[in-house]
Chains A and B, each alone.
Chain A
Amino acid sequence: MEKPVIATASLAGCFGCHMSLLDIDERILDLIELVDFNKSPINDIKEFARECDIGLIEGGCCLDENVHVLKDFRNHCRILVSVGECAIMGGLPAMRNGISVRECLEEAYLNGPSVRNYNENKILPNDEELPVLLNRVYPCHEVVKIDYFLPGCPPDADLLWRALTALLNNRKMDLPYEVFKFD
């Protein structure tokens, strides 16, 4: 039988959730036995080569590019999972949600102490190649349909392991209290 295929992505996240996935210790060997990885920063596959069973998304959407990647994942993954607080509710990046985009950009490129004296022409980066900032950070499920949510910042490695094995074996997820946390 063919092994189930997993894809992962980090959108507006810090890679902490990916780190946590690698933090399952020696069980990582079991995992590699159990599944194949497709598009993922873990193996650096950049385009979907095939349809996947499970997509793990870290981070919310803060750029148009995040939206495109997320939609791509939705189109290629049977089950899509929001992993971590950023994917679930925007996380720290979403702390900008009460501030206008213009203000954010101006602070980052014009007024912030580290740029104030260097951006002589007072330019907000506007190259057509650059991704565009969204008006706010969106949790993944406010953009596409998400099937499961694994909380934590990052989610505990044990939580990820249990959730993954449950999904792979078509079992109900049993997430123990000690590892079910938002921080």
Chain B
Amino acid sequence: MADLNNFTIDGLKCLAREGTSIIDAARQNDQFIPTLCNLEGVPPKGACRVCTVRVNGKLMTACTAKISQGMEIENQTEELNEMRKSIVEMLFVEGNHFCPSCEKSGECELQALAYRFEMTVPRYPYFYPKRNIDASHPRIVKDHNRCILCKRCVRAIKDEKGRSIFAFLDRGFETRIYLDPDLAGQLTEERARKAVEVCPVGAIMPRGEGFKTPIGRRKYDRHPIGSDM
């Protein structure tokens, strides 16, 4: 077992294979590191910065940094959770999140993190950006108001030739998701479903369905995200 590494998370002794990302290694050791952009099996991007931890004192994203022998990781500290909360708040003011009328409410990872961090109101002023809802595609509705630019759709969904269907357009504060005009129209049922699944928020929704699960029985109605660890 030469490739097993010892490391600690918040002082707790942990064990994982060398080269595992910190976030996966934490999960294997039953430690929850919150994230919005990371998705198992998809190359990490470090976009949302929510999984930021301190590795031997240095700030790093747990999705992109890999475990090594003797690493000391801080995770559930007041400082880090406060940073994470403030990132969640930024994402709320950046877009237009009308949770009461959102089909994803109760199953949304952004909202779930806001609950977990007990966000009553973002500390930052709302931007109320003017954004579109693109309902021109046969299988999905793309609501740009709710997009947090986590790039999960960009990374996880490609067509059979490996071409991008979702992509980033422009840069900085103007960045938004662009749907390939040809490929998005030809999205297979399976890919469409996957796109809906990977999106952590309600920015990619299936056409013609919504509010299926009754309130009280949705994913995050009773237990905070991460409470399974």
Contact = CB atoms under 8 A, between A and B. Distances in A.
Tell me, yes or no, whether A binds B.
Answer: yes
Interface of A: 82, 85, 88-92, 94-95, 97-98, 136, 139, 141-142, 148-151, 153, 175, 177-178, 180-183
B162 interface: no
Chain B interface size, under 10 / 10 to 19 / 20 to 34 / 35 or more:
20 to 34
Contacts of A136: 128
Binding site secondary structure of chain B: loop
B121 A89 contact: yes
Nearest to B222: A178
A121 B221 CA distance: 51
A88 B115 contact: no
Contact of A85 (B96, B100, B130): B100
Contacts of A149: 120-121
Given A175-B118, A180-B118, A182-B105, A98 B99 contact: no
Given A151-B120, A180-B118, A98 B96 contact: yes
Contact of B120 (A91, A94, A150): A150
A40 B126 CA distance: 28
Contact of B115 (A95, A150, A153, A177): A177
A92 B100 contact: yes
30 contacts: A89-B92, A89-B97, A89-B121, A89-B126, A90-B126, A90-B128, A91-B100, A92-B98, A94-B128, A98-B96, A98-B128, A98-B129, A98-B130, A98-B131, A136-B128, A139-B126, A141-B121, A149-B120, A150-B120, A175-B118, A177-B222, A177-B223, A177-B224, A178-B222, A181-B221, A182-B99, A182-B105, A182-B111, A183-B99, A183-B105
* Residue from B114, B120, B215 with most neighbouring chain A CB atoms (10 Å): B120
Contacts of A180: 115, 118
Contacts of B101: 92, 95
A151 B114 CA distance: 11
B106 interface: yes
Contact of A95 (B98, B215, B224): B98
Given A180-B118, A183-B105, A153 B221 contact: no
B121 A82 contact: yes
A117 B92 CA distance: 41
B70 interface: no
10 tightest Cβ-Cβ pairs between the two chains A and B = A153-B100, A182-B99, A149-B120, A98-B130, A97-B128, A149-B121, A183-B105, A183-B100, A183-B99, A88-B121
B43 interface: no
A183 B106 CA distance: 8
Nearest to A88: B121
Contacts, number: 68
Given A98-B96, A139-B121, A153-B99, 9 more contacts: A89-B92, A89-B126, A98-B130, A136-B128, A148-B120, A175-B118, A177-B222, A182-B100, A183-B215
Interface string B168-211: 00000000000000000000000000000000000000000000
Nearest to A182: B99
Contacts of B106: 183
B178 to A, nearest CB: 19
Nearest to A148: B120
Interface in B115-141: 115, 118, 120-121, 125-126, 128-131
B166 to A, nearest CB: 23
Contacts of B115: 177, 180-182
Interface in B72-129: 92, 96-102, 105-106, 111, 114-115, 118, 120-121, 125-126, 128-129
Contacts of B121: 82, 88-89, 139, 141, 149, 151
Nearest to A150: B120
